[in-house]
Amino acid sequence: MITLTINPRTGEDVYSLLTQKEKSLRGGRTTLVRHGPKRKDKEKWVHSTYKGWIQFQRCLGGVVVAQVKSRDPESTWQLLSAFIGYINRHFRTQITGIHLQYGDDE
């Protein structure tokens, strides 16, 4: 499992931006889609090709913490790359940085 901390620029709500963008792209125009029940300030996304999921939640100060977990530990990098690419494509002007932390199973 890999944990990402996404730091927003002042005044930006990255969590809302992520969820709104997923909604607007839903229906064949995106590979990352929401999965499971709606929960306040928490999301779970799956990728259409890579087996695994990304769970993320809104934290204090607008920070978003995400966990990337693949069913196949050898392919976690593909899911991670897809998520970071998604963030870079759509939100690079709204964030100041992304921090990666590797879990014990890596």
pLDDT surpassing 80 at residue 30: no
The mean pLDDT value for 38-60 works out to: 92
Domain boundaries, the chain: 2-93
Structure confidence at residue 2 (pLDDT) = 95
Mean pLDDT of the chain: 90
pTM: 0.88
- Say whether 11 sits in a helix, a strand or coil: coil
What backbone torsions phi and psi does residue 103 show, to the nearest 5 degrees? -80, 180
Q: Which CATH class is domain 2-93?
A: alpha beta
- Say whether 55 sits in a helix, a strand or coil: strand
pLDDT surpassing 70 at residue 105: no
Q: Which residue has the higher pLDDT, 46 or 38?
A: 46
Structure confidence at residue 72 (pLDDT) = 87
